[in-house]
Chain A
Amino acid sequence: MALLEVRDLKTYFHTRNGVVRAVDGVSFDLEKGQTLGIVGESGSGKSVTCYSLMRLIPQPPGRIESGTAKLDGVDLLSCSDDVLQQIRGKRVSMIFQDPMTSLNPYLKISTQLIEPLCLHEDMPKKVALKRAIEALEEVGIQDAAKRVHYYPHEFSGGMRQRVMIAMALITKPDVLIADEPTTALDVTVQAQILELIKQRQKELGTAVIFVTHDLGVVAGFCDQVRVMYGGRIVEAGSTQDVFYRPAHPYTWALQKSIPSLQRKGDELYTIPGMPPVLKEQITGCSFAARCEYAVERCRTQPVALKTIAEKHQSACVRFQENELQGADL
């Protein structure tokens, strides 16, 4: 049994202008110690998936319509608030996109690092402070014994993200959800933060759900990849499979858009059109409108993830019926 089993997760937002199907039937498994990458462009439902798992969706307007997310048999989506509070921060932690706003500006780093320990592990403050200093050292902050008493504004963006990682991992959780943790940082710091997450993951055996829109990051970092589009998973497989044998035109289009893979001087490749508005129920493939391989059947026939090779699934009808091969793309 997998550590975290997400089945048919549906999160809808009931807005004044209609229902937005932000996440529409997402399923995946996360094994212990594994890294799962979720990729997709803006508005594809990556972040909402993560927020749903932690039940951080503002309700209303959001609502988790159906689905289960079982962590060792406990359903995160339907368990009581008390149970959830004991799981959050203790067994499942999260790091956020913007390190500048995810630390409380009025509390010292020490206060913020100690709190999860005092709350979840009943640690006395003195012991917790010692542990907090160690945690800062583990994420590569020098002079930790002194810096632990600083305020967040005295840290740079990269250092704050390090602090966030230290905070999320201080209780040694089973699952770490990282929602685009490097998007707000500059490139050199990005690499350091990725390296740090990887290293801490190895040391603690934490499973990581890594949300990003950067395929390059996924390639070097994840074991498994889920490609999301329009609130659904369109391709699922190991990193190897998805990168070397992409089985969905969307994945392939994403790969073609990586600037470094294109010839210098050529115009950069972009996917034509816009992501779909998720207010109408789309029959058929949500990517059909932008897909250069779409045929009539794609727009009318309901699509579902189907296994096309061992542990490799695609939601593309034409792939499933062997009309398209990796070589065609």
Chain B
Amino acid sequence: MTRIKPDDPIVEVLQNVEKGASLWSDAWHRLCKNRMAVMSLCIFAFIGILSLLAPWISPYEYDAQNRSYGAQSPSAAHWFGTDTLGRDLLTRVLYGGRVSIGVGFLATAVSLIIGVLYGATAGYKGGKIDAVMMRFVDILYTMPFIIFVIILMVIFGKQFWLLFVAIGAVEWLTMARIVRGQVMAIKQQEFVEAAVSLGYSSPRIILKHLIPNVLGPIIVYTTLTVPSVMLLEAVLSFLGLGVQPPMSSWGLLIKDGAEKMENFTWMLVCPAFFFTLTLFCLNFLGDGLRDALDPKTSAD
């Protein structure tokens, strides 16, 4: 056998192998190989950063009207044109992105926290507690969403925070069901018994031992929740129940555009393009994450 010298390049390779890969770094590598997902991530990050920096990038105010100007088709001064009140459409699209993406992530975060904790508790406790908790979810499921929102609006008036409440209240249900199912499957495994036998309390086992194990499905479902929440926000704004002008959101802009699309096509095309692109990106990213976190289900 020949001996390996310390300066041999193989030594470095072996050292890297020995470092050991966590499941997360494995998943990250698989995600990076998925070109569609990486591209989606980049485009989404680009749109997100643009929206976030809108007040500093854009030379116009989102609510600065110019009545004498009126609706203008795209030009060098206004890349996406202006709306009927003479407001710069690119600025409004970027500001709309702040609202839409913001609502998407905040409402998702709300639904994520409630859904994961609720589902994990129900799944881990099992028996009667589980039955009662999940019947409550079933009852909420049967509530028609739009009517629910209208009732909320009637009681509290048209307020921005109601959007989060309404969307969050609907979206956590599915998350709770998914997490409960996963937890029920995992709690049969011996490491949960081992954790109990080491004297850990139930909250500790749920938070520290069970939830990390179901993080894969949670992440995947979260990336798919964000676009569906954004879509809900758009639906509500489109119906006039969501964001109120002069604030802008993608749903609101699409609604305005749809009303005037015969004469001013760009008013529909520009916000719709950004909205669709973002939804595509998030969905592809979600698919990519699902394949990366659970290689068994991937097509190849």
Contact = CB atoms under 8 A, between A and B. Distances in A.
Contacts of A86: 199
Interface in A92-145: 93-94, 96-98, 101-108, 115-116, 119-120
B117 to A, nearest CB: 18
A120 B23 CA distance: 29
A203 interface: no
Contacts of A108: 22
Contacts of A89: 197-200
A130 to B, nearest CB: 20
Interface residues of B, number: 22
Interface stretch (B33-41, B185-193, B239-247): B185-193
Contacts of A87: 199
B198 A104 contact: no
A6 B233 CA distance: 62
B272 to A, nearest CB: 41
A93 B197 contact: yes
A90 B23 contact: no
Contacts of A149: 20
Contacts of A168: 198
Nearest to A82: B201
B89 to A, nearest CB: 47
Interface residues of A, number: 35
A274 interface: no
Contacts of B194: 94, 96, 102-103, 164, 167
Contact of A102 (B191, B201, B208, B215): B191
Given A85-B201, A101-B191, A106 B196 contact: no
A105 B199 contact: no
A228 B189 CA distance: 26
A105 B213 contact: yes
B190 A98 contact: yes
B212 A96 contact: no
A96 B195 CA distance: 11
Contacts of B209: 104, 107
Nearest to A103: B191
Interface in B171-226: 189-191, 193-201, 204, 208-209, 212-213, 215
A1 interface: no
A54 B190 contact: no
B127 interface: yes
B196 A56 contact: yes
B23 A96 contact: no
A115 B201 CA distance: 12
B212 A107 contact: yes
A106 B204 CA distance: 15
Given A102-B191, A104-B213, A154-B20, A116 B198 contact: yes
Given A96-B193, A106-B213, A154-B20, A60 B198 contact: no
A150 B199 CA distance: 24
Contacts of B190: 96-98, 101-102
B127 A60 contact: yes
Contacts of B215: 106
Nearest to A97: B190
Interface of B: 20, 22-23, 127, 189-191, 193-201, 204, 208-209, 212-213, 215
> Can you list the 4 inter-chain pairs with the closest CB atoms, starting with the nearest?
A89-B198, A89-B199, A88-B199, A102-B190
